[in-house]
Chains A and B, each alone.
Chain A
């Protein structure tokens, strides 16, 4: 991965043709571009009503927004442009199944038992071998069914019609299936004297027993302790980096900063990320297109002069693949960081900021 270009003060090389204009824009001229339906000149930018000057004197649709009034180039702009970054850790686990799905999959597995050819032991196990004895031992305990995770359901027996479990049955839980599979992987019959199959005693471990790796719990330690700065929390959800700035009344925000020099948005986003959260994160900014924006209106004096500039922040999408944020050397006065899910962001963010941000966030 290339290191981010954030050397401030150096002129970026202006490559020839880097500021290109598409052919549509070149061919368009304000007099010839007429709206197809109303036959009036179409303006796509905001203008103040007093500043309208037309060539043909027609009245036409004008969008007067609460955008800044038309000013000359000398007066400072009422809005600064900022780049922000929505750094996300995608989910590392598959989604949680809801109870209906779990029950449905279990129902389908049992139906499949009814529609598949019954298991023929002689085909897979030779008579009087330890493997055969082992299989018989285990099958006896599950009603001679071949399937290990269906609760001893026999599709070709007398109770073949009884394939539905009752309400509250825990057999449908995936945890139950995993438990049964692990139990089944323990070898219970080995070759003894004269090649005869000998049962392994309950406490002992058989000779040829391979190590059974038990799957880890989907909820990690960070989940149990609710460590919000850790990235191995809530592994089935997307986590987003939020930071807290110094100053009273400042809540949680997404990392952002002003554009410096002739930076473009994704270069600014990379620089801001490194300056806020340190270098030791394996990140990637996804493309050059911003995924959302947040506008803070400027503040005006009673005499309509500018008191404080507003800002337009454009958020870039970033992904983190490894590492952790580190605020020790940050240049934005950040005091704390967290990795939050969508719901937690809704709780923590200012309502206006959340309104701008929530469409960028993934459901899961």
Chain B
């Protein structure tokens, strides 16, 4: 293949053959003036790389930091230590489940309370009377509860770990 390559060399156009002689350190304006020394493309970033000023050390620093020699490996725990870890994990799972179940039960109780209140409301009046069940029907209406002004913004006060300087504004007036 090399022989073929060298035999074809003289068939290359003069322009292409002149590229082989372009020195690496030649600048753009030199290329523009001389026909023999021209770069492959006129875009500076795509042109052959020059030595340039000293590289930014920050990039080197980032690379070294990412390729830290003490990259952590999976933990190796002794038998008793592993047992303690397993126990702690089981205990945490249990505690989490207990908390979730309590929340579930709380919601269930609240719902049941609402449901029985609504049942009582439904059976307030006797069925034959005029307007019986009026309060029940009005209670079930959903007009405007999510519309503009449905929920006040002060309701969205988030919980914090520590209280504010004035935790509650007792002196609020309308």
Q: How large is the interface on B (under 10, 10 to 19, 20 to 34, 35 or more residues)?
A: 35 or more
A-B contact count (CB 8 A): 175
Contact of A70 with B92 in the complex, beta carbons under 8 Å:
no
Q: How far is the CA of A277 from the CA of B33 in the complex (A)?
A: 92
* Across-interface contacts of A111 in B (CB, < 8 A): 75
Closest to B113 in A: A359
Q: How far is the CA of A6 from the CA of B139 in the complex (A)?
A: 18
For this complex, 18 residue pairs linking A to B, each with C-beta atoms less than 8 Å apart, are A45-B126, A90-B157, A93-B159, A93-B163, A117-B71, A120-B68, A215-B162, A216-B162, A231-B168, A264-B135, A265-B135, A282-B154, A284-B151, A289-B114, A289-B140, A314-B117, A314-B120, A323-B170
| Contact residue among B61, B92, B102, B157 (Cβ-Cβ distance under 8 Å from A321) | B157
* Across-interface contacts of B155 in A (CB, < 8 A): 284, 319, 321
B49 at the interface (CB under 8 A from A): no
Q: How large is the interface on A (under 10, 10 to 19, 20 to 34, 35 or more residues)?
A: 35 or more
B30 at the interface (CB under 8 A from A): no
| Contact residue among B95, B124, B141, B161 (Cβ-Cβ distance under 8 Å from A94) | B161
Scoring A residues 350 to 364 as 1 if CB is less than 8 Å from chain B, else 0, what string do you get? Answer: 000000000110110
- A295 to chain B minimum Cβ distance, whole angstroms, is 7
On B, residues with C-beta under 8 Å from A are 61-62, 65, 68, 70-72, 75, 81, 84, 88, 91-92, 95, 102-103, 106, 109-110, 112-114, 116-118, 120-121, 123-124, 126-127, 129, 131, 134-135, 137-142, 145, 149, 151-152, 154-155, 157, 159-165, 167-174
- The answer to whether A291 and B152 touch (CB under 8 A), given A164-B84, A230-B170, A323-B170, is no
Q: How far is the CA of A323 from the CA of B152 in the complex (A)?
A: 15
* Across-interface contacts of B127 in A (CB, < 8 A): 45
